[in-house]
Amino acid sequence: MKPKVNIANVIVNQPVLLDRKWAEGHILSSAKAETVSEDGEHKEKVLADVYMTYGNVGIISISGVIVNGFVPEEDCDYTDVSLVESALQILRGDPDIASIWLVVDSPGGFVSGIKGLADLINEVDKEKPTYCWIYGCAFSAAYWLASQCRYIYTDADGMAGSIGDYMITVDRTKELAQAGVELNIFSAGEGKLAGNSVYSLSEEDKKHFQSVIDKTYAQFIEHIDRKRKVDHANAKAYTWDAEESVRLGLVDGLYPSFVSAVQATL
């Protein structure tokens, strides 16, 4: 069983590929909530929850927050990269499957595992046509994955974008000082306390964290550019509706429904 983790806590002090508005709303709502859900349980997804076959078409669902190796404590939808990887490999090796569709509705997620999964989607697409249908939104990490498909389609209500990553640190040193709290901290290794809320970041710390963010962003852009021509100068890290997503190259076309998109590619 995978460990349960509070997303609002782990958003801080590590790079994330989440839509900013979703993350901010989640942090605020989590701060008010003292329980996970009414029954205190959150069902762990299994492989059967993320993929199915319909005739010779394989369908993989990527919904909610994209995580790697844990189950969110909060009562929110999520998808583990390991389940998507397993589903892709199964459909890749199934001789009866002619094409694969990723059905995405996600605000994004965590950096861990995204690059490897994106590479796998790209590799699978070389062997079997792999498409994406945006059922709602594909932001940040979710768009990174979607961008590795041969074509991306959605309906008039779909949204895409949020190409970027970020990291949040909290500095509570002034708050503690005003409260009269004096800390004695012992550490070894330069940078060991960087990101701890009881320690103020040095300029070198800030440069280090920014370099981590910049590296992930560069990989994100590199992956997008190997599969499609996105107008990055105008797309930036904003989220876009369906019409603008097509104009900016984020999405390849619009269909009235997922079924009509699948039929058009058969």
pLDDT value of position 23 = 52
Q: What is the mean pLDDT of residues 81-86?
A: 96
Residue range 45-77, pLDDT digits in tens: 888 889 999 999 999 999 999 999 877 776 788
In the chain, the amino acid numbered 92 is: R
Residue range 172-221, pLDDT digits in tens: 989 988 999 988 888 898 888 888 888 889 999 999 999 999 999 999 99
Nearest 5°: the CA angle 165, 63, 67 is: 50
Between CA 15 and CA 238 the distance in angstroms is 18
* Residue 160: Cβ within 10 Å count: 29
Q: How far is CA 245 from the centre of its chain?
A: 18
pLDDT value of position 35 = 34
One CATH from 3.50.50.60, 3.40.390.10, 3.90.226.10, 2.60.40.1930 for 4-168+230-265: 3.90.226.10
Q: Which residues of 112-131 are buried (b: 16+ CB within 10 A; e: fewer)?
A: bbbbebbebbbebbeebbbb
pLDDT value of position 27 = 41
* DSSP class of 248: T
Q: What ranges make up the beta strands (E) of 11-157?
A: 16-18, 51-54, 57-67, 71-72, 78-80, 99-110, 130-139, 151-154
Between CA 112 and CA 155 the distance in angstroms is 30
Between CA 118 and CA 114 the distance in angstroms is 6
pLDDT value of position 16 = 59
Give rounded-to-5 percent helix, strand, coil for the chain: 40, 25, 40
Domain coordinates in residue numbering, the chain: 4-168+230-265
The pTM (predicted TM-score) of the whole model is 0.84
Bridge partners of 130, per DSSP, are: 100
Query: Do 152 and 160 form a contact (C-beta atoms < 8 A)?
Result: yes
